[in-house]
Amino acid sequence: MKKIIETKKLSKHYGNVVAINNINLDVSFGELFGLLGPNGSGKTTIIKILTGQVKPTTGTGKILGMNILENPIEIRKNVGIIPEQETPPSFLTAEEYLYFVAKIRKIDNVDKKIDFWFDFLNFKDRKKFLCKDLSRGTRQKLMVAQAFLHEPKLAFIDEPLINLDPIIQRKVKDYFIKYVKEGNTIFFSSHVLEIAQEICTRVSIIEKGNLIYDGKINDMKKNKINLEKLFLKRVQQ
C-alpha cells in the first residue's frame, strides 16, 4: 500500500534525555493509526517532528511525499493538527479564531463549515466568548474544528478526547471513523487504550522513545490479543 508517512531512524535528544530513539514508522493511506504509550514516552515529540515543528537530532522522514526537514510549512499547509497543549489566543472570540485560521489557511466560503462545527460539537452558545473565558473542554472543541476546517488528507491528533464529555467524545470518535472511511488518514496518539482499541485500524506502542510493538487491530482480534493486557505486559518489562 502507498505510504503517507514514512520515517527513517528518527531520534530526538534533549540534552541527555533521549525523547525518541531510532524510530522507523510507516503509515499507509486510509489508516487510522494509533500511537500508544505511557506519559513521557515520546508521542508528542514524534508528532511535532513529523509536522516540522521540531527538528529531529538525526534521521529523516516524509509526509505526503514531502521531506519533513525541507518543507515544514508545505506540510503544515496540507495536514491538520490538534496539538496536545497549545490553546487558541486569549483575546479572540471562538468564532473569530476559526475565521482567523481560515484566513491563515486561505480557505474561502468558510461560513457554512464554521457553522457546522459549532453545531456538531454543540457549542454555538460560546461563539462570541473570548477564548480566555472558555473552559478547557470548549477550547479543545475549537482545536478539533480548527484542524479539520480545510479538510486535510491527513490529520495528526495528540490526545484530543481528554477534556471532552462522553457525548462529544462519541461524536468526535464517529467523525474520525467516517473521515477515514472517506479515504483520509489519521495519526492519533493516546494513552487511553479503550479508545484506540475501538477506533484504530492499527496501533504501535512506544515506550521510553522506542517502538516496541506494531500490529493491526483486526489481526489482534483474530488472535484474541487484548490490547490492555499486551500493553501492561510489554511496557512493564
Ligand X SMILES: Nc1ncnc2c1ncn2[C@@H]1O[C@H](COP(=O)(O)OP(=O)(O)O)[C@@H](O)[C@H]1O
Judged by the rule CB under 8 A, the positions of this chain that interact with other proteins are 51, 53-55, 73-74, 76-77, 81, 83, 85-93, 95-96, 99-105, 111, 128-130, 133
User: CB–CB of 227/203 below 8 Å?
Assistant: yes
Supply 227's cell numbers: 490490547
Interface pick for ligand X out of 10, 33, 34, 44 (rule CB under 6 A) = 44
Stretch that binds ligand X, among 35-43, 56-64, 139-147, 161-169 (CB under 6 A): 35-43
User: CB–CB of 63/79 below 8 Å?
Assistant: yes
User: CB–CB of 141/121 below 8 Å?
Assistant: yes
Residue 45 interacts with ligand X (CB under 6 A): yes or no: yes
Give CA–CA dist 236/224, Å, rounded. Answer: 21
Residue 44 interacts with Mg ion (CB under 5 A): yes or no: yes
Stretch that binds Mg ion, among 58-66, 76-84, 115-123, 209-217 (CB under 5 A): 76-84
How many CA atoms lie within 13 Å of 160's alpha carbon, on the beta-carbon side?
30
At which residue does the C-alpha cell 457546522 appear?
Answer: 116
Residue 1 interacts with ligand X (CB under 6 A): yes or no: no
CB closer to ligand X out of 80 and 209: 209
Q: How many residues bind ligand X (CB under 6 A)?
A: 11
Query: Which of Mg ion, ligand X, other proteins, none is residue 42 near (CB under 5 to 8 Å by kind)?
Result: ligand X
At which residue does the C-alpha cell 473569530 appear?
Answer: 96
Supply 104's cell numbers: 491563515
Interface pick for ligand X out of 9, 14, 128, 219 (rule CB under 6 A) = 14
> 111-120 and 94-104 helices cross at what angle (nearest 10)?
140
| CA nearest to 159, candidates 62, 86, 101 | 86
Work out how close the CB of 230 gets to other proteins at its nearest, in angstroms, rounded to a whole number. Answer: 31
Query: Which of other proteins, ligand X, Mg ion, none is residue 128 near (CB under 5 to 8 Å by kind)?
Result: other proteins
CB closer to other proteins out of 157 and 211: 157
CA dihedral 113, 114, 116, 120 (to 10 degrees): 140
Work out how close the CB of 145 gets to other proteins at its nearest, in angstroms, rounded to a whole number. Answer: 14
Q: Which chain residues interact with ligand X by CB under 6 A?
A: 14, 17, 19, 37, 39-45
